[in-house]
Amino acid sequence: MSAEGLSSSSDFIRAIITEDVRAGKFGGRVHTRFPPEPNGHLHIGHAKSMCLNFGVAEEFHGLCNLRFDDTNPTTEHMDYVRSIQEDVRWLGFDWGDRLFYASDYFEQLYQYAVKLIRKGKAYVDSLSAEEIRAFRGTLTEPGKESPYRTRSIEENLDLFARMRAGEFPDGAHVLRAKIDMASPNINLRDPTLYRIRHVSHYRTGAAWCIYPTYDFAHPLSDSIEGITHSLCTLEFEDHRPLYDWILDECEVACHSRQIEFARLNLSYTVMSKRKLIQLVDGGYVRGWDDPRLPTLKGLRRRGYTPEAIRAFCDRIGVAKRDSIIEMAQLEHAIREDLNQRAPRAMAVLRPLRLVIENYPEDRVEELEAVNNPEDPKMGVRPIPFSRVLYIEQDDFREVPPPKFFRLSPGKEVRLRYAYIVKCVDVIKDPHTGNPVEVRCTYDPETRSGLPQANRKVKATIHWVSAAHAVPAEIRLYGPLFTKANPAEDDDKDFLKWLNPRSLEIVNSARIEPRLAQAQPGSRYQFERLGYFFVDPDSTDERVVFNQTVALRDAWAKIEKSPNK
């Protein structure tokens, strides 16, 4: 069954939780968590996880924690912690007073490990990392037991305490669970629980020189927080038997139920933090908030709204099978949202002069333009009209191809909110032969809003008044990659699929005068061009716009001709 069209209330996770609540499991409580590792910035895949975890908690009148899963001291940072909190809030989620860190549980986790040793369920192994790997076996061959597996409980307790005390160098020993070296599930072949690492942790500093593995820390952190439903992505399905073993052997009070779902993959981009870091560090994009990235900071700077991202996550739903969601679906969500909320404006990206020969030289009219036809409450605005205008170069063809209904010699178009004009001449650059000025006449009877204005022409085009318009920088974005799945088969070479034309900076643009004051963070629909977001790079002198999305879906075309 396709995930499409499933409303959020009917997915398999919510069905399981509904049943657990009905059966009185966990006393009817629902408590979830969103557990990012502070080793990178959040992306839209994390948004899917947040929408699920915070969403489920709210729907079942439960709670959702924010927990930093920070057990790896070498890659984690306070900067990421702050940035993640900012992004979670921006998306509209609230963890209340439930902000937790796995690193706060280091002492408790240590005590659980000691408990396992006392029960004879964990041992200190002194094989090297390579030996442990070699002893692990393969999918078809069982593993081999370490010669240290039979150490006495006393010796294990002593060695583990001395590991903690810092008596041994990195790699000298590890603590392993004693499960089954012949298990068909490799995760159960005496997995490592603790490693010696003489490195400082961004929160606990030098307090520890042994660190728990993710597999040991994660289920126990869930249990410590009383998490009832531990929702995670599919790659952890094979770890579930290990988590269940750990929770059973540690005899925890709360044994969370893990449910796996498919991670979000989006076409024409990459989602793994490792790959995103390569793009940022390699200078292939301008930073973590580059509007071409699927990071929440990038999407925000592109002009995405939290509402659109949440609507998208809701629409794609959660499923049990991995798939790639079309970028067009994400764009559809933002178009729907901005169509309702973005005021309209006129901007000309690649200007071509249009002179109205029969319009008085010194005359300026204030015409009335509608701010948002979807929302009459947004009112109207005046726009200046005069003898010399700019139109898009694309809206004029000296020799029109078939079905070209815009301006060409002898033809008429309507200028949006203004008059019908007719092209009477074209002036060309003597060297290139390109049109540099279109000469027109206008029909004063056809002003928009006048009773006689109903004369029909086949096209309406946008324009700005040359003397009044202000210059702006416009950044247009294409897909970051030229291949729908650039990371296919974990392609190490995914960078070769980067789209050299993913960013186009248009410096020639002219915008309606009132947009000179547009505030960073505001959004507009440029008529016929798309939705645009005022970038924080804007200054008092020059407004910078990011194109959020074109007005119509351009993907269908790209899919047909990938080399275009």
Enzyme catalytic residues: 37, 263, 273
Q: Does 263 bind ligand ATP (CB under 6 A)?
A: yes
Could you give the C-alpha distances from 446 to 2, 143, 205, 356, 542, in angstroms and in order? 52, 85, 75, 14, 35
**Residue of 14, 41, 48, 387 interacting with ligand ATP (CB under 6 A):** 48
Answer whether 289's CB lies under 8 Å from 517's CB.
Answer: no
Q: Does 273 bind ligand ATP (CB under 6 A)?
A: yes
Write down the residue that tokens 């280091």 correspond to.
106
Q: Does 36 bind ligand ATP (CB under 6 A)?
A: yes
**Partners of 503 in the β-ladder:** 477
Task: Name the token pair of 147.
Answer: 């010669």
**Residue of 31, 46, 229, 315 interacting with ligand ATP (CB under 6 A):** 46
The number of residues making up the chain comes to 564
Q: What residue type is 551 in one-letter code?
A: L
Q: Does 66 bind ligand ATP (CB under 6 A)?
A: no
CB atoms within 10 A of CB 45: 18
Q: Does 330 bind ligand ATP (CB under 6 A)?
A: no
Answer whether 232's CB lies under 8 Å from 258's CB.
Answer: yes
Task: Name the token pair of 544.
Answer: 């910078």
CA 192 – CA 124 distance, rounded (Å): 10
Residue 265 or 499: the one with the smaller Cβ distance to ligand ATP is 265
Using the contact rule CB under 6 A, the part of the chain among 32-40, 55-63, 146-154, 491-499 near ligand ATP is 32-40
Using the contact rule CB under 6 A, the part of the chain among 29-37, 59-67, 103-111, 116-124 near ligand ATP is 29-37
Using the contact rule CB under 6 A, the part of the chain among 215-223, 271-279, 363-371, 494-502 near ligand ATP is 271-279
**Partners of 130 in the β-ladder:** none
Q: Does 45 bind ligand ATP (CB under 6 A)?
A: yes
Answer whether 206's CB lies under 8 Å from 165's CB.
Answer: no
Residue 46 or 292: the one with the smaller Cβ distance to ligand ATP is 46
Residue 52 or 529: the one with the smaller Cβ distance to ligand ATP is 52
Residue 134 or 324: the one with the smaller Cβ distance to ligand ATP is 324
Pairing of strands 351-356, 388-392: antiparallel
**Partners of 354 in the β-ladder:** 389, 438
Binding mask 105-124 for ligand ATP (x = CB under 6 A): --------------------
Least distance in Å: CB of 190 to ligand ATP? 24
Q: Which helix (H) or strand (E) holds 351?
A: strand 351-356
Binding mask 69-108 for ligand ATP (x = CB under 6 A): x---------------------------------------
Least distance in Å: CB of 122 to ligand ATP? 25
Write down the residue that tokens 């008085």 correspond to.
360
- Residue 170: alpha-carbon gap to chain centroid: 37
Least distance in Å: CB of 564 to ligand ATP? 28
**Residue of 185, 192, 204, 272 interacting with ligand ATP (CB under 6 A):** 272
**Residue of 8, 49, 221, 258 interacting with ligand ATP (CB under 6 A):** 49
Which single residue brings its beta carbon nearest to ligand ATP? 45
Sign of the Cα torsion 230, 236, 237, 240 reads negative
Using the contact rule CB under 6 A, the part of the chain among 35-43, 100-108, 109-117, 379-387 near ligand ATP is 35-43
Residue 36 or 530: the one with the smaller Cβ distance to ligand ATP is 36
Binding residues for ligand ATP restricted to 217-246, rule: CB under 6 A: 232-233
DSSP code per residue over 187-241: GGSS-EEEEE----BTTTBTS-SEEE-HHHHHHHHHHHTT-SEEEEEGGGGGGHH
User: What 3-state DSSP class applies to 519?
Assistant: coil
Least distance in Å: CB of 233 to ligand ATP? 4
**Residue of 6, 14, 30, 37 interacting with ligand ATP (CB under 6 A):** 37
CA angle 239, 81, 39 (to 5 degrees): 50
- Residue 173: alpha-carbon gap to chain centroid: 40
Binding residues for ligand ATP restricted to 334-373, rule: CB under 6 A: none
Strands (E), 106-161: 122-125
Task: Name the token pair of 518.
Answer: 């547009």
Residue 233 or 278: the one with the smaller Cβ distance to ligand ATP is 233
Q: Does 418 bind ligand ATP (CB under 6 A)?
A: no
Residue 273 or 475: the one with the smaller Cβ distance to ligand ATP is 273
CA 499 – CA 562 distance, rounded (Å): 11
Give the total of residues touching ligand ATP (CB under 6 A): 15
Residue 263 or 353: the one with the smaller Cβ distance to ligand ATP is 263
Q: 267-299 burial by CB neighbour count: b if 16+ within 10 A, else e? A: bbbbbbbebbeebbeeeebeebbbbbbbbbbbb
Residue 49 or 221: the one with the smaller Cβ distance to ligand ATP is 49
**Residue of 11, 13, 17, 35 interacting with ligand ATP (CB under 6 A):** 35
| Residues in CB range of 293: below 8 A, 6 or more apart | 43, 269, 276, 279, 280, 285, 299, 480
**Residue of 264, 345, 356, 529 interacting with ligand ATP (CB under 6 A):** 264
φ/ψ bin of 309: left (φ > 0), alpha (ψ from -120 to 50), beta (otherwise)? alpha
Answer whether 267's CB lies under 8 Å from 329's CB.
Answer: no
Using the contact rule CB under 6 A, the part of the chain among 15-23, 43-51, 94-102, 158-166 near ligand ATP is 43-51
Q: Does 310 bind ligand ATP (CB under 6 A)?
A: no
Task: Name the token pair of 291.
Answer: 């509007």
Least distance in Å: CB of 277 to ligand ATP? 9
Q: Does 527 bind ligand ATP (CB under 6 A)?
A: no
Residue 87 or 392: the one with the smaller Cβ distance to ligand ATP is 87
Contact residues: ligand ATP, CB under 6 A:
35-37, 45-46, 48-49, 69, 232-233, 263-264, 271-273
